[in-house]
Amino acid sequence: MRKEALVRLGGWAAIAAGVLRAAGAFASDIGNDVTQQSLYFIIDVFLLIGVLAAYARDCEVVGRWGATGFLTALVGILLVRSSRAVPGLDLYPAGAVAVALGCALLGLMSWRAGTGSWWVPLLFILSVVTAIGGQAVTLSPAPFIVSGVIFGAAMVGLGKQVLDRRSSSAG
C-alpha cells in the first residue's frame, strides 16, 4: 500500500474519531463500563491513526514544533489509555490536555506552513479552555460535553485537511 493511501485512510480515521468523540460526549451514561471503555478505546485508536496521518502528511514542513506537537499528542493518547493503570492517580485529564494541545501545535505548524487551516488549532485550544474553564466555574458536566464536541469538530477538521490533496505536501 502506498504512503498516500495510508495517509488518506488516516484522514478518514481522524474524521471517524471526531464524530465518535463528539457523539461520545453525550453517551457517558449509556451502557456499562465495559461498553464505554470499548467505545473510548476505538476512539483512541482512530485518534492515533489520524494524528499519525496528519504528521506523515506534513512531516517535512512542520519542523521541530510540529514534531513536538505530534509527539505530545501521542504521549497524551498513551496517558489517556493508561489512566487506570496507576491506582489513585488519574492520568486522563493530563492526557486529554496533552492530546488537544499537541494536535493544536501540529495544526498551527501546518497552518504556518500553508498546508492547514487556522481554525483547526483554534478549535483544539478552545476545547481545552472550555474544559478547564468549565471545571473552574461549575461542576456541571455541560462544559465537558461542549469541550468534547469542540474537540470532535477539530478532529473532523484535521481529517479533512489530511484528505485535501491540494494541501498535501505529498501531492
pLDDT in tens, 93-106: 899 999 999 999 99
What is the pLDDT averaged over residues 86-92? 86
pLDDT of 167 higher than 50:
no
Q: Which of 51, 55, 67, 68 is nearest to 17 (CA)?
A: 51
- Residues 80/116, Cβ–Cβ less than 8 Å: no
HSE of 75 in the Cβ direction (CA atoms, 13 Å)? 11
- What pTM was estimated for this model as a whole? 0.89
pLDDT of residue 1: 74
pLDDT of 27 higher than 80:
no
pLDDT of residue 170: 43
Residue type, position 143, single letter = P
What value does the mean pLDDT of the chain take? 90
pLDDT of 135 higher than 90:
no
HEC letters along 59-108: CCCCHHHHHHHHHHHHHHHHHHHCCCCCCCCCCHHHHHHHHHHHHHHHHH
Residue type, position 56, single letter = A
